[in-house]
Chains A and B, each alone.
Chain A
Amino acid sequence: MTDLSVEKLPEAAAPTAPLLETKDLTRHFRVGRGFSAKLLHAADDVNITIDQQQIVALAGESGSGKSTIARLLAGVYKPTSGEIYYQGRALSSLRSRRDQLAYRSDVPMVFQDPFSSLNPAFRVSHGILRSLKLHGGHLTREQRNEEAERVVEAVGLSPAGDIMHRYPYELSGGQRQRIGFAQALAHKPKLILADEPVSMLDVSIRIGLLNLMAELRSSAGVSFLYITHDIASARYVADQLLIMYAGHIVESGPTESVLANPKHPYTDLLLGAVPDPRAPLTVGVEGDTGEPPKVIDPTPGCRFRWRCPLVVDECHHITPTLRRLGEGHEAACHVAQPDPGFLSSQPTNPAPPKKG
């Protein structure tokens, strides 16, 4: 948190402001009632920066808070605290319906399950045309139809006219997910929030959608927040990689740098879980059966400490914050060492070396 806030521009809409930025974004949920009411910390102090035409991957296990982030950015949830800046403007300052609609048309979402995210009772053109009607009020009916055909072609479905008149059940999973992307593309978005867009699809089809994301980035200039639990696919498309665990971003940096030189033990764990048939056989070495904890009324300390192989005394008392350990590469871990030769410009670690 510390060094980030120093470097980032204040909220004044400078021309160099990133496309989207979050500052200490936090969301808690109340669980239970009355005296047993507790707070579930789904996301705590999350700082994300997404630039123009950038694909940022947010990776972590189920229950780590990835989808909460996507919903916060989509405006489905209101943040408990913290702020989201879109092109330098705070989202909480968007009061009028017009501003909110404009934001939502700039930042649409693609959902995980293409089988339940399309209405089975309508043709696939329905969703695309509806959002065009909502966000493109100035378009005539013909223009809307043309526009819809354009986006359907853009996601690699042709002939567009034929596809648009089909019902979802007439399309395969991969085709449906492409329709999901077409809906998001319909009103010329700046940033698409893709929440596990390929995890429900067959492996042989996934790569096509990842390629589609990369292509839309270069052809339509869209940025992506790509949420996934599959680090290998993140590596394939993403420029920046954020690793999330139990509501915290625990590591962030350029994808290659994070994967080649993981600083956080959790990143190591995620990397080790990726099946790689090209790698030599390594069965039975690890036996991690842990799961991310539900963070309810947390006490200070690293949230990964129960599963961490490198745990030290400090981890039980002090919550680690993100420290800069390499070029653009940060990790929230007491044990992680900076790159050799890399000296952080300022004393970033607020934690005293030992407590008590």
Chain B
Amino acid sequence: MPDQPVLEVRGLTVAYDTGDHPVVAVDQVDLDVHPGEFVGVVGESGCGKSTLLFAIAQLLSPPAAITAGSVLFQGQNLVAMSEKKLAALRWRDFSVVMQSAMNALNPVMSIGSQFRDAIRAHDEPVADDRPAEVLRLVGIDPIHLKSYPHQLSGGMRQRAMIAMALLFTPDLIIMDEPTSALDVVAQRSLMVQIKELQRQLGFAVVFVTHDMSLISHFSDQLMVMYAGQVMELGATRAVFDHPAHPYSKGLLDAFPSIRGPKVPLTGIPGSPPDLAHPPSGCRFHPRCPVAFADCSKVEPELYQVGSVQARCLLHAPPDAATTATAVQDVTS
């Protein structure tokens, strides 16, 4: 069944229990990832992107906890799964590549022994030359199995992390800003490499980044997050060509172009809201250049806009907006 999503996230909500005001960092996120698909998740720091990834991989630690929703991975609900079952699944069926390889790799163990560690933790039979093979896949000479993390450059370390994630040929790899510590050239070559591996091995990727331009050529689906909510979701090209949400447009206009006329840019003024006290109505309205009166009162839903979904009142169907206002009026 090629159409069956490998990952189905439904209404996933994560809260940090901070006493009086539980901070909802991820608010009812729905996401489908199909086999072999590349899904980009973008947003500024503090938008809940990383929390979402951790929640999908069941890696949250207190005070963060999933308060609602489900994560169906190959039909099994990870949220309800026991730690033991999860441990068997992790790395074998889905793996995680962390942001900073320098911190994720053990500095006092060689790359090879860290690979063996991961293999030993699972009952899966693995060929002896598998570590060498995965290193070769990511373009590192297997001689580096004997190397320690500090002996590799930043780009090689990230590649080694990806090699490690490939040990059991998982169906899904979750990546949390794997390129943010690299310079543009290394970034570009790593992205090309990930895409190439994906073509060869057919795994799905969920890729988190704050740099929208980075994944423009690589991802199939794009999810724009702001203040814990999905702001826009759709085919990458569609979002880039016609961003339906002002926030997506803001992110898209935030970086200078290398070609074309030089235009003054403004970025997005202000900073993401404090999630303990999110703004009323649309969470983006205090920073939105096109906000109107309703935006501070009515909480928008995800509306279908052509082929994409956007959480913006500009796209609200006329009747829905009025009913929402009416409900708001009754309650207030």
Contact = CB atoms under 8 A, between A and B. Distances in A.
B258 A231 contact: yes
A291 B186 contact: yes
B184 A273 contact: yes
Contact of B212 (A211, A232, A277): A277
Contacts of B216: 275-277
B213 A270 contact: no
B250 interface: yes
B82 interface: no
Contacts of B250: 204
Interface in A266-324: 269-279, 281-284, 286-289, 291
Interface string A32-72: 00000000000000000000000000000111000000000
Contact of A282 (B182, B183, B214, B217): B217
B54 interface: no
Interface stretch (B266-274, B292-300, B317-325): B266-274
Nearest to A196: B183
B254 A288 contact: no
B184 A236 contact: no
A274 B258 contact: yes
Contacts of B183: 61-62, 229
A278 B259 contact: yes
Contacts of A208: 266-267, 269
A289 B259 CA distance: 24
A270 B265 contact: no
Contacts, number: 125
B304 interface: no
B267 A204 contact: yes
A232 B184 CA distance: 10
Nearest to B247: A204
A272 B188 contact: yes
A270 B217 contact: no
A291 B266 CA distance: 34
A172 interface: yes
A231 B252 contact: no
Interface string A202-241: 1111111011000000000000000001111101100000
Contacts of A233: 255-256
B211 interface: yes
A204 B268 contact: yes
A275 B267 contact: no
B210 A203 contact: yes
Q: Taking each of B196, B251, B259, B260, which has the highest tally of chain A beta carbons within 10 Å of its own beta carbon?
A: B259
Interface residues of A, number: 43
A174 interface: yes
A269 B210 contact: no
Nearest to B216: A277
A160 interface: no
Contacts of B196: 284
Contacts of B262: 235-236
Contacts of A272: 188
Dominant secondary structure of chain B at its interface with chain A: loop
Q: Taking each of B139, B182, B184, which has the highest tally of chain A beta carbons within 10 Å of its own beta carbon?
A: B184
Contacts of A283: 192, 195, 217-218
B185 interface: yes
A164 to B, nearest CB: 19
Q: Taking each of B153, B196, B211, B267, which has the highest tally of chain A beta carbons within 10 Å of its own beta carbon?
A: B267
Given A277-B212, A278-B260, A203 B217 contact: no
Contacts of B265: 207, 211, 236
B217 A286 contact: no
Q: Taking each of A172, A174, A278, which has the highest tally of chain B beta carbons within 10 Å of its own beta carbon?
A: A278
B187 interface: yes
Nearest to A272: B188
B155 interface: yes
A289 B255 contact: no
B240 interface: yes
Contacts of A282: 217
Contacts of B251: 203-204
A232 B256 contact: yes
Contacts of A232: 255-258
B255 A207 contact: yes
A259 interface: yes
B45 interface: yes
A173 interface: yes
B44 A62 contact: no
B154 interface: yes
Contacts of A174: 271
Contacts of B182: 62
Interface of A: 61-63, 172-174, 202-208, 210-211, 229-233, 235-236, 259, 269-279, 281-284, 286-289, 291
Given A204-B254, A207-B256, 8 more contacts: A61-B185, A202-B44, A204-B210, A207-B266, A277-B213, A277-B252, A278-B260, A281-B217
15 contacts: A172-B45, A204-B251, A207-B254, A208-B266, A211-B267, A232-B255, A233-B255, A235-B262, A270-B184, A273-B187, A274-B258, A275-B211, A277-B213, A277-B240, A284-B195
Q: Please give me the 9 A-B residue pairs with the lowest Cβ-Cβ distance, nearest first.
A: A277-B216, A207-B267, A229-B183, A236-B256, A273-B188, A275-B213, A273-B185, A273-B184, A204-B254
